Amino acid sequence: MPENRTAEVERKTSETRIKIALDLDGSGTFQGSVGIPFFEHMLDLFARHGLFDLTLEGEGDIRVDYHHTIEDVGICIGQAFKQALGDKKGISRYGASYIPMEETLAHSVIDFCNRPFLKWDVTSRRDKIGEYDAELTEEFFRAFAMNAATTLHIRLLYGENMHHIHEAVFKACGRAISDAIRIDPRIKGVLSTKGVI
């Protein structure tokens, strides 16, 4: 296993100031805040079920709305994954997970292939979860996928409760990532017939 699969990323704009620290070989801990409690709860689930350690510091123009902050967190986390994975030698590359949450079932599949793409097939029954705009979860995962250079498919098979739906999505994606970034000693170089990812 590579000795140090960690990364730190900082992003400063006129709208946000975000700093991320990531350890791919952690134990699933999340620390930090950007002033959006529901989103922070989702990131805690994301890290816990992905078994990576994630530290988040920063602030954004949440008095306007949450969009800029959540998108920029996704950008930074994506860049941190790309940096920490380096040349991707030895990783399993693909991951998939089904996660139930009571009446809800979510499915996530990821490929760390250097081909950024998000397929989002999650229908929201309501626009908001408290103060949180439900559409921002898609924005987070799009920013993550584009900046981590992954192909990421996320779909909701069924579900009613909005909190359950978003929780299952974050857990499923975290679990799929955990599988994809796992080092497999049988893999020599990268898992590609091209010899490069």
pLDDT of 1 > 80? The answer is no
pLDDT in tens, 13-59: 999 999 999 999 999 999 999 999 999 999 999 999 999 999 999 99
Residue among 191, 189, 188 nearest 179 (CA): 191
pLDDT in tens, 135-174: 999 999 999 999 999 999 999 999 999 999 999 999 999 9
> Which pLDDT band holds residue 107 (cuts at 50, 70, 90)?
very high
Residue-range domains of the chain with CATH: 6-180 (3.30.230.40)
Type of residue found at 178: S
pLDDT bucket at 2, cuts 50 / 70 / 90 = low
Residue type at 119 in one-letter notation: K
Whole-number Å distance between alpha carbons of 105 and 168:
7
Closest Cα partner for 182 from 88, 53, 79, 46?
Answer: 88
Question: 124 pLDDT band (50/70/90 cuts)?
Answer: confident
